Chains A and B, each alone.
Chain A
Amino acid sequence: MSVSNLLENWSKFRHTHPVDDKGYPDWEAYPSDIKWAMAIDLDACTGCNACSVACYAENNLPVVGKEKYSHGQAMHWMRIERYWDESAGVGEFGADKGARFLPMMCQQCEAAPCETVCPVGATNHTEDGLNSQIYNRCIGSRYCSANCPYKVRYFNWYNYPEQEKVWPEPLNQQLNPDLTVRTKGVMEKCTFCKQRTYTARNNAKTEGRQVQDSDVQTACQEACPVGAITFGNLHNPESQVAKQWQSQQVDLTKEVQEKDEKEGNRLRGYRILEELRPYPSVMYLERVRESAV
């Protein structure tokens, strides 16, 4: 590749998502008719971890074991964070005793802090609004993980398939063939089940139509017993996720949402750490259960 070509490509992918004069994302100039987004209803979530298990199965995630987990080397792309309401007493009975659950995975930020710091451009933005992680380009500097405000990037400290033997025969047969099995020294994170979204896009394209809600479900969404997770194309006004964002008046380009701007309204939609302005693609719906108070 010639140098001029290299520079041109570099600036091109840095500007995949154009910004307006004030530095806000410019949706008029959005390059694609797809923007994958999610909504998670915390009122429905019971913290059962089914989403996390489904993610392990779908995305070839290694189960690292107790010792490595205690070193903070777990590879759960989807994790359930627990927050305790101490006035209710920190207890062993879960929600009734004041536990609050928050499913946390890569928020697929539009202005992702991880993207700007990668020294080799292994993580960048795709046209359909995903924050991509390219394993074969990653050199394992872990800079992205350090800069991620949500701490949802996971580093392969070990060669799990071969040295750690996390999938001994015949368990290797359960690996998902649509995904790479990552090896030592690369960063990885939630991809919004891109093997599924790309299949959905591919099929829709062959049939000459737009992607619909019925085309694709992420693994966590599929596994959620209470249907707390909604996933779809935010640019399609007919999609469930777009309707939810709309009804909560959550705007992708804003860092303070209606819910917090005005007192006394009944809106529940917010995004985590919005004030940092990464413009995440996951909207959470605040919990309203009486027992939680």
Chain B
Amino acid sequence: MKCFLRSLTLLVGLFFYASSHAADALPTLTTPDDVGPVIEQPIEFPHFRHAGDAKDGGMQINCMYCHTYARRSMVAGIPPIQKCIGCHQSIESVRDKPRIQKLFEYWDAKKAIPWKKVHDLPDFVRFNHERHIQRFYFQQDRPYQEVCGYCHGNVKAMTVAQRQKPITMGWCASCHQKDHLVSANSSKTGHGPNDCFTCHK
């Protein structure tokens, strides 16, 4: 019996030892399995055309030109249809394209486009866009595509946006535990908040 217990303890200990090391050696959490579901939007909005690099035929528009609130509010915001029309009424060359025609149909009917949410967090989670944009875009002076891409993936290459990162608590925490530079011209580092209260309200 004693021998059995001893070997059992050893086995359990070995298991925990091995599992704690296995977790440390995990690969990055972004794998193809983590790609979220394909979401059908009312208009197949081409992100790559608007935000993509010039060499890929994109316009290199800053994400925050349309998702304006990201830098000053909790939510990034979906642009109102006025914002689309604001540019597209003077872009005659694409006026006859089916997507643009659909856009103007909504505009003429004075209806908002019923976009669907791609990055939908549970109701008990409050992610704050402002803090992340302020920290990484304004203070660290990193390119916006990189900053938004931490969580949203490579949207500039997508047509309709699709979830690419797991967006789970463990995934958030894995970045919050890392040391990040406080600002572009300082060597001081700090990590993200570890309080449950910060996100769960």
Contact = CB atoms under 8 A, between A and B. Distances in A.
A binds B: yes
Interface of A: 1-5, 12-13, 124, 126-127, 130, 132, 134-137, 178-181, 191, 194-195, 198, 202, 205-206
Given A136-B124, A137-B196, A5 B23 contact: yes
A178 B128 CA distance: 12
Interface residues of B, number: 25
A180 B201 contact: yes
Interface in B185-201: 193-198, 200-201
B201 A195 contact: yes
Contacts of A178: 126, 201
**When A and B form their complex, which 8 residue pairs have the shortest distance between CB atoms, in order from nearest?**
A2-B23, A2-B20, A132-B197, A134-B196, A4-B20, A126-B195, A136-B124, A3-B20
Q: Which of B22, B134, B200 has the most CB of A within 10 A?
A: B200
Contacts of B128: 202
A198 B124 contact: no
B130 A206 contact: yes
B28 to A, nearest CB: 16
B195 A127 contact: yes
Nearest to A134: B196
Interface in B1-60: 16, 19-24
Contacts of B21: 2
Interface string B115-150: 000000011101010110010000000000000000
Contacts of B126: 178
B131 A202 contact: yes
27 contacts: A1-B170, A2-B20, A2-B22, A3-B16, A3-B19, A3-B20, A4-B20, A5-B20, A13-B194, A124-B196, A127-B195, A132-B195, A132-B197, A134-B196, A134-B197, A135-B124, A136-B124, A137-B196, A137-B200, A179-B201, A180-B200, A180-B201, A181-B123, A191-B197, A194-B197, A202-B128, A206-B72
Nearest to A9: B194
Nearest to B123: A180
Contacts of A124: 196
A205 B200 contact: no
Q: Which of B16, B193, B198 has the most CB of A within 10 A?
A: B198
A126 B200 contact: no
Nearest to A7: B20
Contacts of B197: 126, 130, 132, 134, 191, 194, 198
A134 B134 CA distance: 26
Contact of B124 (A4, A5, A180, A195): A180
A2 B24 contact: yes
Contact of B134 (A13, A180, A206): A206
A126 to B, nearest CB: 5
A282 B51 CA distance: 51
A4 B193 CA distance: 20
A202 to B, nearest CB: 6
Contacts of A191: 197
A206 B130 CA distance: 8
B130 A198 contact: no
